[in-house]
Amino acid sequence: SASAVMRIAPPSQSEGATFRPLFRRFAAAFLIASAAITFLSMWARVRPRKYEIGVLRFLGASKILVIAIVSTEAAVVSFGGALLAVVISHSALTGLNSLTAASPTYFIGFKSCLVTCSTIVGAAMSGSTIPCAVSVQRDVLTMLESDR
């Protein structure tokens, strides 16, 4: 009979739209995890550099200059990584849209890219600045003697 036959209809736009909040929540959780990992990796990268910080201080660099050098390095590295991630994401999404002929097409907005980059750069800078600021407060000779 005709009523026993099931038809599989393509999902309507309203059904596809129900997945968007789920994707946004997943993206937010992924961004928070990425920021935490970036913070911890920058912290771990700066902490053992007490000797280099001590050398800079011994050569006459002020505390603020040393912190600025470390923070600038963290900002450049993390901004480059975040920019690369955005480019790869856009490329992958463009490829998926063309392969699946998604209707409506999915996109990543400028605001999302800006939030992602600023979150990662902020996490990297704070992850590098905190241990550097603690190390700068120590005595120069103690820093030069430690961990070498």
pLDDT at 40: 93
Tell how far CA 17 is from the center of its chain.
27
Q: pLDDT tens, 110-141?
A: 888 888 889 999 999 999 999 999 888 888 88
**CA-to-CA distance for 66 and 88, rounded, in angstroms?**
33
Q: pLDDT tens, 15-42?
A: 555 667 787 888 889 889 999 999 999 9
**CA-to-CA distance for 66 and 117, rounded, in angstroms?**
24
pLDDT at 147: 56
Q: pLDDT tens, 71-100?
A: 999 999 999 998 898 889 888 888 887 887
| For residue 6, pLDDT beyond 50 | no
pLDDT at 102: 63
**CA-to-CA distance for 12 and 84, rounded, in angstroms?**
34
pLDDT at 17: 56
Q: For the stretch 61-81, what's the b/e string if a residue is b when 16 or more beta carbons lie within 10 angstroms of its beta carbon?
A: beeeebbeebbebbbebbbeb
pLDDT at 93: 82
| For residue 4, pLDDT beyond 80 | no
Q: Which of 5-14, 28-37, 47-56, 114-123 has the lowest mean pLDDT?
A: 5-14
- pLDDT-based confidence at residue 60 (cuts at 50, 70, 90): very high
| For residue 5, pLDDT beyond 70 | no
